[in-house]
Structures are given as structure tokens and as C-alpha cells.
Structure 1
Amino acid sequence: MDTEIVRAWVDGWAVSRGAAPPVEEPWGFTVDVGLPKQVTRHVLPHADEALIRKLTETVTAPGTWLKVFTAPETIAPWLAPGWSFGDPGFLMSTTLRPSATDLPIGYRLRTWSRGDVTRALVLGEDGTFAAHGQVGGPAGAGSVVFDQIETAPAHRRRGLARVVMHTLAAAAVAAGGRTGVLGATVEGRGLYESLGWTTLAPVTSCYLNRDDPPAC
């Protein structure tokens, strides 16, 4: 996996989530997230059997996650006891271009920025949550990460996620962003592909001794 695109994802994700600045390791990146169910994540650009065996055998802190760019069946035999798989995902990217999508009648769109993160929120006619998402990355990096794109079940299939994505893309381009990167769920992959995003690799998540893992 291209280390530079992985770096862009790691750096942008850390900015978006307010995590600690990533630490570059000889084998990849470490990010201190600081949440009870995700304390630290290690991101490995390459599926190295010896490294994964060593990490999973020596790491003892619950809430430690590994992100590896390969299929889960590849690394399953390498994991030490006590490690479980999170939801599968995909690393995706696109060249950013400004575009617009009409907001469906009855909805209201709000956007705001704090630091290097821009958020978009769609509200229903009665003010209820309908959809949201955010985009962020280190200032001047050129690559930004689209993150936490979500539509409430009652408001799906109305084009709201497209509105959010186009809104965030326009904001990113205005701020100098050229490349978009994201970690997609299985459900979200089709949406992003329909918007011109390209799947680069599967993302396998595994974690140590945690029940009810958080979404990535």
C-alpha cells in the first residue's frame, strides 16, 4: 500500500477526530486516540506477518487497534489469542472538484469550521438530525479526510449524503484541498464510488479484548 496515501489518511483522521499527532514508526504510524474503547491505533501500510505476530503477542493494553490494508483472512492466522476483528472497510480516494447538489425540499443545511475541520449538518423540517459529515486535514497538506458521514435511517435514500459530500468537497477545495481520502464502510462504499471515488485497498481492523467496538 502506498505509504504516502496512508500517511494522508492517518494525518487527516487524527485532525478530524482531535486525536494526538501521529507518530511515525519504522513499520507505519501510531495514533493515541484516547477513548475508552480505542486508546491507541497502529496503522500498518504493509501486511507483514512477523510484525503482526510480534505486535499482537506483545501488546497487552485493551483498546489497542491495528489497521492493516489487506483482507481479514490474510492476517487471521497471525493474530495472537485475545484479538478480534472489527467491521471491514475500504480505503478510498478521489481528486477533489467543486460541485453542487440541490438540497431536498423540507431540509436545512448548516456548515461551520473549527480549526482545520469543516462540518456539514442537515436538519429535517422539524429540526431533527438527518445527516452529517466532516472533512479535515493538516493545514496546507493538500490532502483531506472525509469522516463520519452518516444519514439517519428515517432520512436515507433522499440524496442527503450526496449533499453532505458535495458540500464538504467544495469547502475543502476552497481551502486548498486537492485530494480526498476516506475509510469507507461496506454500506458506504457504493455511495462513494457513485461520486467518483476509487477503492485503493481493503482495511482490516482488529482490536484487543474489547466488546462492542466503536465504528471506525
Structure 2
Amino acid sequence: MLSVLDLFDLEHPEWSFDAMYAKLGYSRSTLYRYLKTLTDAGFLTTFPGRGYTLGPRVIELDYQIVTTDPLIHVARPVMNELVTGYSCISLLCRRYKHKVLCVHQETSTSQFRSTYERGKARPLLQGAASLAILAHFSTYQLTRLYEEQAEEFKEAELGDTLASVRETLKRFRQKGWVQTEGQVTEGVTGIAAPIFDGKNEIIGSLSLTLPEIGMATEKVESVAERVQFCARIISKSLE
């Protein structure tokens, strides 16, 4: 039944019964039963001539997450403080399977706008916010991902072998933060640090995006120190 919900994304926000039937391969009676259950629960809804779309229960749950999620709750005041003194955007991102999702954003600038608003997935192999998370994947997780996306790792200049990728990510871990320029948004610099849960497992990252490139080393290190400090506060609060 959950695989029905997985069909819906930005590229495919609406599905007809016949399209879902062809895609999923369930029997018609099984798919009818799943759709009725999901519709009755509010996870799906229908419009005449438009097929099925995500329903109001999803919106209700999203509001509940914004209001009660422990990560957002502890990170919001820290992020408000972090953007003070810079013309920047701060993103709180969370690892989700082989995706990195923005779950909260704070801004202190009108010079540019982040295209990665709450709920939008970021590329896993590009951008400081993602690489700060990727650097802490387990050996098993990284190996599986590399086997699936070896060419993408090479294109992202992370390494053309698994060994070279591991060495690149090791340098990120040792430094404690990641800096990138223009990888996701042209003309900006991203600086990010990892966030861990109470079991010291990587769950997300905290980042600042500044509307400039070619920043002086001293400024980059100063910003990175502050980002890393704030990420540690958030991690400590989750213990």
C-alpha cells in the first residue's frame, strides 16, 4: 500500500487508476482496496477527470512535524542566531534513504533565494549540505551507493574509484565541515557541518549559503567554525 504513495512526486503529482495499475502490477481488486483505504484515511483524494492526488492528511501531518519535530525544535533558535551578522540563508537538512531533504530554512538576505525549500530533495553528491552528510555514511552504505552511482561520483569530482571517494570523504570528516562553490546554486558558497543523533549516527546537516564566491580563507574558516559550533549544539541537544 505504501508503494502507492511512493508514486507521487513533483513530476507525477496526479495518477489515474489505469496508470497506477500498469505501473505497480497489482491485481485490480488489490489496487482498488489500497486506494479506498488511503482515500478514506485522507492520504489520497480524487477530483473528477483528474485522478488521484495526495490528500489533506499529508498536510495535517506536515504541520504536526513543523510544530513538534525534535530536530526542528532544537535547531530553529540556533539557526536564527547563526544567520545574524551574515547576508545568508541557513538550511537544516535531513538524510532520508538516498536523499537529502531540506526540513527548515532561515534567511537574513533578499539578495538571492534558495531553491531548496522545505520538503525538496537535494542532490546527494553535490553541495556542502549533502556532502557533510555523505562523508559520514558507513562503509557498507557508501559501497552500495558507489556501486549504483559510480559515474555520478566521478562527475561530482569525488573520485573515480571507491578508494579515492573514501579518501575524499575522509578529508571532509577530519576537517569537520565542507565548503563548496556554485555546485547547486551558481555564484554562492555553501559551508556545512554534520548533525548527529544521540547514538552518534549521522541524521542531517546545518549549512550557510552566502551570495559570493572566492571568499578569503580567513572568512571561510571563521564562518565554518561558527557553523560547526552550532551543529554541535544541535547534536548535543538531541542526546
Give TM class, smaller chain.
under 0.3
Output the TM-score relative to the length of structure 1: 0.26
Q: TM-score by structure 2 length? A: 0.25
Greater Cα radius of gyration, structure 1 or 2: 2
RCO greater where, 1 or 2, for CA within 8 Å and sep 6 or more?
A: 1
